[in-house]
Every structure is written in C-alpha cells, then in structure tokens.
Amino acid sequence: MDSLRYPAGVEPTLVARRLALVRARIAAAARRAGRAPEAVRLVAVSKTQPVEALVAAWQAGVTDFGENRVQEAQAKLPAARERGVAATWHLVGHLQSNKARDAVQLFDILQSVDSLRCAEAVARAARAPMRVLLEVNVAGEATKYGFPPGELPVAYRAAAAIPELRVEGLMTVAPQVPDPKAVRPLFRQLRRLAGELGLRECSMGMTDDFEVAIEEGATMVRIGRAIFGPRA
Ligand SMILES: *Cc1c(COP(=O)(O)O)cnc(C)c1O
C-alpha cells in the first residue's frame, strides 16, 4: 500500500479516508435515532499514535483529541501544537491525584473523574473552573474505574458543589463483548442517569460500539482505531 512512503507509519490520506467513513457512520447512526449528526462530537483518541497522525487528523477536520495518559500527553500535546494543531484536548484515562496539576494545564476537559478524591485533586490544581465529566462504571466491572451508578447522585452533588469544577456530564467505558448490541442497556442507563441529574453531555461509544451509543443518546464518542488504525 502507498503508506510505505511514510516512514513514520502515517499516511495522511488514509487517516482522512478512515475519518470520512467514521463521520458517515456517525451521521447514519444519529439519523436512525432521529438525532442531528451535529449533536454528536467526535473525539479522536490518539493514544500511542505519533504526532504525525494527529496532524493528519487535524488537517482532515478533527477538532477534539483524547489521550489516556498524562505523561504521554506531556510529550505529544506541545509537539502537536507546534505543528499547528489547535484542538480541544480531552483526558479519557484514569487520573492519579499526583498528576492533577499537569492534567489541568494540558487538557481542556477531564472526562475521567472517577472518584471524589480525584475531583478534589483537580479542584485544588485548577486555576479556573475545570470542565469535567464523571466516569461511571455502569457494568460494575471490578477492573474498571468509575462511580457505581448507585453512588452517582451523592457524588454528583458533592462534585457540583465544588466551585473549581464544571461538571458537564457523564462518561463510561462499556465492557468489550462480541456483539456491541449487548451493551445497549448500559448506554441507555448512562443517558438516563445524565438526564436525572440534568447533565447534558454523555460520552460513550468507542470503535466497536459507537453506533449503538449514538442510537442511545451519546453526545461525545471517543474513537481511536477506526480513525488511526490498530495501535502498536
Ligand atoms: C482507547 C480508548 C478509547 C478509544 O478506543 P478505540 O477502541 O480505539 O476506539 C476510548 N475511550 C477510552 C477511555 C480509551 O482508553
């Protein structure tokens, strides 16, 4: 394939082609649910990808990028900015309290606030109100971070009372299952929880399940492999 011409392993037109396909699938899923395609924000998850891949995606119209590790972002974000990428940056992975200070400087929105301890660390580090989503462990998986749904109302009230935080919505990572339709009830539950709390944003859906998530009301989808290809 012609990607062999790019030593960094990034073929810009390939990223653009994959992106066009993802956008078409987002639009189709939104229309199936009677929603406007513009109601779904695409966050391109660029973890493990080289800066060249971010530049290619930015040039193809991506406005939002997600990274899952503060340390990786510390190297990549300044390099991407230097290359003209003026995106909105989302942290989508677990945040350790001792990284909160770096995180609030690097990112525009922290999607993975998964405990009150984390929320308080972000608040202490923030100089202006920080945009955050509360991560919910909808399936109750032992291996996953996030608030158990039952604890969410109390946690939300506590987080919403912190002036340094702007709680905009909820986020979840669904279990990986062979049939993405199997996670539909979990997405529906996240949307319902957000509605009950009066929260607008619902970040749910990844490469394997974003269409189901959009049908269930996702306002943000976090997509990596379908845009950038497999991770190294
Ligand atoms: C890696 C990651 C994604 C993107 O996953 P893909 O399956 O590559 O689309 C989305 N959300 C989080 C929290 C991630 O860590």
Tokens of 32: 């199936």
Evaluate: CB of 224 within 6 angstroms of ligand 1: yes
User: What is the 3-state secondary structure of 18-41?
Assistant: HHHHHHHHHHHHHHHCCCCHHHCE
Evaluate: CB of 173 within 6 angstroms of ligand 1: yes
Evaluate: CB of 222 within 6 angstroms of ligand 1: yes
Phi and psi (nearest 5°) for 122? Answer: -65, -45
pLDDT of 51 reads: 95
Evaluate: CB of 18 within 6 angstroms of ligand 1: no
pLDDT of 129 reads: 97
Average pLDDT, the chain: 95
| pLDDT confidence tier of residue 196, bands split at 50, 70 and 90 | very high
Share of residues in the chain with pLDDT > 90 (%): 93
pLDDT of 8 reads: 58
Ligand 1 atom at minimum distance from 111 CA: 13
Which of the listed residues 107, 137, 206, 221 should we mutate to test ligand 1's pocket, taking the one with most ligand atoms within 8 A of CB?
206
Domains of the chain, earliest start first: 12-228 (3.20.20.10)
CA of 220 to the centre of ligand 1 (A): 12
Ligand 1 atom at minimum distance from 206 CA: 9
pLDDT of 231 reads: 87
pLDDT of 9 reads: 64
Ligand 1 atom at minimum distance from 173 CA: 13
pLDDT of 7 reads: 43
Statement: residue 155 has pLDDT above 60: yes
Q: Comparing 10-14, 82-86, 118-122, 125-129, which segment has the lowest mean pLDDT?
A: 10-14
| pLDDT digits 0-9 by tens, 29-83 | 999 999 999 999 999 999 999 999 999 999 999 999 999 999 999 999 999 999 9
| pLDDT confidence tier of residue 113, bands split at 50, 70 and 90 | very high
**Alpha carbon distance 12, 17 (integer Å):** 9
pLDDT of 232 reads: 75
Share of residues in the chain with pLDDT > 70 (%): 96
- Specify the pTM: 0.95
Evaluate: CB of 225 within 6 angstroms of ligand 1: yes
Statement: residue 3 has pLDDT above 60: no
Which of the listed residues 19, 45, 144, 183 should we mutate to test ligand 1's pocket, taking the one with most ligand atoms within 8 A of CB?
45
Residue nearest to atom 7 of ligand 1 (CA): 207
